[in-house]
Structure 1
Amino acid sequence: MQPQRFDLWYERNKVRADQIGNLLIEAFHYLALFVIGASIVWSAVVAYGGMMMQGHATIGDILLLFIYLELGAMVGIYFKTNLMPVRCLIYIAITALARLLIGDIQAHHQAGPGILMIAGAILMLAIATRIIRKPTDDN
């Protein structure tokens, strides 16, 4: 093969390979998002079923449903924008810590250093959401 023909052949095949690679990456991306979304729905349904079987829902159970809701919202945002919504992860962490805090208080019925540490972690996460906020969102 002559050098010019090889360059032309190489460029044509590189473009095709890039297109196929991008298609495979996008297909995997959508498949993974659907699997994650289905897992969130499945877990939420199982948790709700457990609450129904129990006959009542505790505050911790309701906060768990909020965690599933935020996870679903995060997948939806990522699906639409291809951007990881970091604030959603922080909101999930705050909700999980609030659930832990409530569970600890319900179990021990007394204040301790663990409660203060969890409250401090919640405060730090709340401050983090304020710091990472875009200036245009402050309006």
Structure 2
Amino acid sequence: MEKKYRKYGLISIKAVEHLVLMIIAIATIVAIGQEILHIFEAREVALADLLLLFIYLEVLAMVSHYAESGKLPIRMPLYIAIVALARYLILDMKAMDDWRIVAISVSTFILASTVIVIRWGQLKLPYPRRNENS
């Protein structure tokens, strides 16, 4: 009886997981549409607009990868964070004091360094392959 509940529990959790993934994908697509509409209304494409579209694209890629593999590579949210910080810096640089610019720059450098370290670790220190029978 316990196995039956465990099986239905896992099925339920997977169903909720896929539902939330679909909601995230749909919301991201809507946001992309809104941004494109904004670009057409403004009749100009700013760098901030392109960076925002790139963030949306990364979110969609992350959802797609997670839906296909069931795994979320930690590098994808880091890429999104780096682009978001760059966008923030580009948009508000004139209104920022020097310390805030330095803090954002250092944060971006730390995130980029983290990506490099994670990638190096994946190449040089890979996880052992799991035995599919266990």
TM, length-normalised to structure 1 = 0.80
Q: Is 1:89 the counterpart of 2:77 in the alignment?
A: yes
The residue number in structure 2 matching 1:130 is: 116
Q: CA deviation at 1:116?
A: 2.1
The residue number in structure 1 matching 2:44 is: 56
How many angstroms apart in 2 are the aligned matches of 1:70 and 1:136?
26
The residue number in structure 2 matching 1:101 is: 89
Change (3 A) 1:49 1:136: farther
Q: CA deviation at 1:102?
A: 1.2
Q: CA deviation at 1:111?
A: 8.0
- RMSD of aligned Cα (Å): 1.9
Tell me which structure has the larger Cα radius of gyration.
1
How many angstroms apart in 2 are the aligned matches of 1:135 and 1:91?
18
Q: Structure 1 unaligned runs (5+)?
A: 1-12
TM, length-normalised to structure 2 = 0.83
User: Any idea what the Cα deviations from partners look like across 1:26-68, whole Å, max 9, x if unmatched?
Assistant: 1111111111111111111111111111111110111000000
User: Any idea what the Cα deviations from partners look like across 1:40-98, whole Å, max 9, x if unmatched?
Assistant: 11111111111111111110111000000001111111111111221111100100111
The residue number in structure 2 matching 1:70 is: 58
Give the % identical residues: 31
Q: Structure 2 unaligned runs (5+)?
A: 126-134
Moved beyond 4 Å, runs of 4+: none
Q: CA deviation at 1:22?
A: 1.6
Listed as ranges, the matches of 1:110-125 within 5 Å are 112-125=98-111
The residue number in structure 1 matching 2:9 is: 21
How many angstroms apart in 2 are the aligned matches of 1:22 and 1:56?
48
Change (3 A) 1:136 1:119: same
Q: Which has the higher helix share?
A: 1
Structure 1 stretch 115-124 or stretch 85-94: which is displaced more?
Answer: 115-124
